Structure 1
Amino acid sequence: MHFRFGSFPVIVGSSVDMARFFLKTQAILYVDRPKTASGKHTTYNYRDMTWSPYGAYWRQARRICLAQLFSTRRLASMEHIRADEVGALVRGIYAASGPMRVVHLGRDHMWTLSLNVITRMVMGKRLFADGASEGPMPSMEVFRRMLDELFLLNGVLNIGDWIPWLDWMDLQGYVRRMKKVGKVFDTFMEHILDEHILGKQRRHEGEAARDMVDVLMDIADDPTLEVKYGRIGVKAFTQDLIAGGTESSAVTVEWAMSELMRRPAAFDAATEELDRVVGRARWVTEKDMPNLPYIEAIVKESMRMHPIVPLLIPRMAREDATIDGYDVPKGARVLINVWAMGRDPELWDAPEDFMPERFLGSKMGVIGQDLELLPFGTGRRMCPGYNLGLKVVHLSLANLLHGFTWRLPEGVRKDDLSTSAPAHSSFQQSMWEALVQSKLRFKAFP
């Protein structure tokens, strides 16, 4: 489809053939990002991984992410963090549950899990201990509101982005808000870096483990690198890691639980697999995941129906090109509609039905090789943290299903969820408040 938003053409590809053309065959022509006010004001003038333009800076950043931050070895060394935080998740749910008591799964638990995992890996500690912080973010609720604002402003249709000569007027007030949230996060990032500089001597003496900020700070000072990142680059990458790693995993698990609550047969199949493979004497670990194909299928099916970024992040055409007789002009914004591809009846049987069984025995994955399913994108601009995200989603979902018996609050119908409804639909709001029976499925609580 071709649209025109203000001064720029917009191309939307909604099929595997179009995804292959834009992301594989001619990927080098569509690897760039458009310039937006949000990229300028909330990501240190396009210095993060998400919005930085294609070039030496971005290529080097990508290599650092793959080789240093999200390597198999580094993720394995931090497995204990994920295990600790999932343990804290189930203990928190256990403490909050009781006869006829409602547990706010997403708002109070999943979001906290994701935040604690990513901040311990990135910063070396929980951002909020006992719900409060010594830094510029006084409470978890304030931080959550700031993250919500950051994501909102990175997705709004800002008139100045599409009609540049109106940019100075800030007709919607978005730019003012972008500058404000950018300033708040910059104060927060300065605090993180100052803490690490003060603790550098202690880390050199081996008294503390190196976290991702330590790695980024060492790289920023590396004289052998082609591009120097400096303090601003470290702040931009750190913000990218914390923001991106907090939201996506939590929302994916919420959608999976929402769908399972509507389909008792799938729920029962998952718990049967967990009882058979893991047993009721212990919790699920990451080492169990290769032996839990139905849990993996649930995650894939959730990502098919509810991708976190339904249109992927926009790309920009670097040159004129032609596809199937249609012209794609230089400067066009390109969107890949993975939401539509995940519900295409030519690709999927009963695409509107949640059926994890479709992935049993299938080699189709979610890491960019199979273009029918692209929750993380593919190619050069694929999300570099996909492996970490999958580990957190699999482990937390498996333990939620293994440890508790779930049901909806009284008066909520299973058919209240529309697959096309917005995230604040009545069913999902009720799903966030799902009732957990106070008794664990385990014989004993560790």
Structure 2
Amino acid sequence: MHSTGPSSGDGKVPCEPRPPGSSLSLMAMAVEIQTFEAMDLGVALFVLGISWIILSLLIGRIRSSQQRRLPPGPFSFPIFGALFSLKEPLHQHFAKISKKYGPIVYLKIGMAPFVVVNNNEMAAQVLKTHDLEFASRPDDEFFRIISHDWNGLILGPIGDKWKTMRRICSTHLFSNSMLKTSAGFRESEMKHTVKSIFQQSETTINLHEVFSSLLSNSLCLVLLSERGLEVMDLSQKIASLSLHLNIGTLLPALDGLDLHGVYKKINRELMPRLKLLLEDQIDKHRRRKDQAGDGFVPRDFTDVLISLEDKDKLPDISILALLWDMVVAGLETSLVTLEWTMAELINHPRVVSKAQAELDSVVGRARAVQESDLPNLPYIDAIVKESLRLHPAAPLGVPHKNLKPVNLGGYTIPGGCKVLVNIWAIGRDPARWPDPGAFQPERFLGSSSAINGQNFDFIPFSSGRRVCAGYPLAMRSIAFYVASLLQAFNWRAANPGGIDMEERTRSITMTLNADLLVNASIRLDQNIICS
């Protein structure tokens, strides 16, 4: 008899395997499944962990690379940025820290990113190579208000309207023929000023007050054929509001709340007064033009603007904004430049003697100097240029802005940065200017240093698309005023220690810290002065 299977040692027949449907088999499968699930979960977690580490390293490397591409600069704290590390005057502070960080400095003032360029090579990159990329202006609310909703030339966006206004300035307002036409206004106001100084020659004279009146009346005559308007007062009050620390600068999301009341004051008080003044003048000019009919001849800038036709014709808001731009760009900057120039001259009698000798040789003392004499007075021209090199009226210029990232000097400038060109530092760069702090007009005699922004060692009026459109008028008028003052009078400081050359802090322009107090003695014949 055959056995049905192998016998065990105890004679018992071993059990047959249980069919798959049995409970033991189900338990075994469950254990296997749980084991595999646990293994899959562990592998998944392991893979996920490794992926997270790799991704973190990649993100860190990207961020690190981006940080390395940013220009170096001082540490920025959350919210406040580098605000509390800044020192006045800002142009001097930026020039100082550039020795540590290099010619391109990146920092945040509050939440706003800034880039400051401090030498001629980087200035050429911003204002020439990448001129279009940096040609925008910051879209700050304060700028929007004072530009009459971006309708002006200084702050308006680059576009067809802006190009039209730029062309009008070049061909109609600041052309040689128009400057010659408007010379009579400046000469008549200078004559009035010389008489006023003569009447005060036995007393201490505050030249700030004298120059404020001279420049305000001269500019109003050139623009509007009228003197005695309050444009200087309005200009200075509006400019002073820009110096207020607005919480919106630190936290742009709060800017619209106007927590300091700056926008309220300028919108409700100052700009309406300015708008009313200019609109009234434009209306007066239009009525005079209508009355004159075909015989109308423009006599000032407003007359020119309302007479433009075809593609040059401007809407009223653009005429108003352009006139205001000329007030903003022409008054305070000319005042600052004239004060610094006279301060340097009074502290440098050798330069005065040389300039007066040139005036005596070219013009003589039998008549007053005129603007037409300026081409024959190269030393007077050199004096003005040297003053602008040492004391640019707007030492950091008007802020630029790049809408998209731009590569600059091997660094990436993120889109939306406010970009400042340190004109003051460039004009005092010892690598470009021997004895840079000395007042030496002779360095400009026979020099090729153009004033129009083509030489990046010397850019007091900026350069590129945003170069100051009115620089021909500024150079002509300042040189004429300086020549007239030196021809008519001898000057000395009221303080025996000389003129204090310290700068005022908390000012958007480069201003003398103290009033310019002087004494004047007559040089020309009294009959010439009083005629």
How does the TM-score come out when normalised to structure 2? Answer: 0.75
Return the alpha-carbon distance in structure 1 between the equivalents of residues 329 and 133 of structure 2: 25
Matched with 1:298 is: 383
* Distance apart, 1:282 and its partner CA: 1.5
Aligned pair in 2 of structure 1 residues 419, 154: CA closer, same or farther (>3 Å)?
Answer: closer
Matched with 2:114 is: 10
Matched with 1:359 is: 444
Matched with 2:498 is: 414
Q: Describe how 1:9-408 pairs up with structure 2 within 5 A.
A: 9-98=113-202, 101-107=203-209, 109-123=210-224, 125-128=225-228, 140=230, 143-154=231-242, 158-161=246-249, 163-179=251-267, 180-206=269-295, 209-219=298-308, 222-224=309-311, 229-408=314-493
Task: Spell out, residue by residue over 1:391-413, the C-alpha distance to the aligned partner (whole angstroms, 9 max, x if none).
Answer: 1101110010111011111x441
Given residue 127 of structure 1, which amino acid in structure 2 is its aligned partner? R
Q: Secondary structure of 1:2's partner?
A: strand
Matched with 2:91 is: none
Percent identity between matched residues is: 32
Q: Secondary structure of 1:434's partner?
A: strand
Task: Spell out, residue by residue over 1:159-203, the C-alpha distance to the aligned partner (whole angstroms, 9 max, x if none).
Answer: 325532111222332222221311221111221122123222223
* Distance apart, 1:269 and its partner CA: 1.5
Given residue 21 of structure 1, which amino acid in structure 2 is its aligned partner? Q
- More displaced, 43-52 or 154-163? 154-163
Return the alpha-carbon distance in structure 1 between the equivalents of residues 327 and 500 of structure 2: 33
Given residue 144 of structure 1, which amino acid in structure 2 is its aligned partner? M
Q: Secondary structure of 2:459's partner?
A: coil
Aligned pair in 2 of structure 1 residues 156, 338: CA closer, same or farther (>3 Å)?
Answer: farther
RMSD (Å) for aligned C-alpha atoms:
2.4
* Distance apart, 1:319 and its partner CA: 2.1
* Distance apart, 1:9 and its partner CA: 1.6
Given residue 273 of structure 2, which amino acid in structure 1 is its aligned partner? V
Q: Secondary structure of 2:366's partner?
A: coil
Given residue 502 of structure 2, which amino acid in structure 1 is its aligned partner? S
Aligned pair in 2 of structure 1 residues 208, 94: CA closer, same or farther (>3 Å)?
Answer: farther
Matched with 1:137 is: none
Mapped pair 1:435 → 2:524: no
Higher relative contact order (CA 8 A, sep 6+): 1
CA contact (8 A) 1:43 1:236 kept: yes
Q: Secondary structure of 2:295's partner?
A: coil
Return the alpha-carbon distance in structure 2 between the equivalents of residues 394 and 323 of structure 1: 37
Return the alpha-carbon distance in structure 2 between the equivalents of residues 16 and 428 of structure 1: 28
Return the alpha-carbon distance in structure 2 between the equivalents of residues 371 and 67 of structure 1: 25
Return the alpha-carbon distance in structure 2 between the equivalents of residues 208 and 155 of structure 1: 42
Runs of 5+ consecutive residues of structure 1 not aligned to the other structure: 134-139
Between Structure 1 and Structure 2, how many residues are aligned?
Answer: 423
Aligned pair in 2 of structure 1 residues 298, 421: CA closer, same or farther (>3 Å)?
Answer: farther
* Distance apart, 1:355 and its partner CA: 1.3
- More displaced, 398-407 or 416-425? 416-425
Given residue 239 of structure 2, which amino acid in structure 1 is its aligned partner? F
Aligned pair in 2 of structure 1 residues 158, 46: CA closer, same or farther (>3 Å)?
Answer: farther
How does the TM-score come out when normalised to structure 1? Answer: 0.88
Runs of 5+ consecutive residues of structure 2 not aligned to the other structure: 1-104
Aligned pair in 2 of structure 1 residues 324, 440: CA closer, same or farther (>3 Å)?
Answer: closer
CA contact (8 A) 2:234 2:270 kept: yes
* Distance apart, 1:46 and its partner CA: 1.3
- More displaced, 391-400 or 363-372? 363-372
Work out which of the two has the higher radius of gyration on C-alpha atoms and give 1 or 2. 2
CA contact (8 A) 1:294 1:356 kept: yes
Return the alpha-carbon distance in structure 1 between the equivalents of residues 144 and 336 of structure 2: 27
Aligned pair in 2 of structure 1 residues 274, 223: CA closer, same or farther (>3 Å)?
Answer: closer
CA contact (8 A) 1:118 1:242 kept: yes
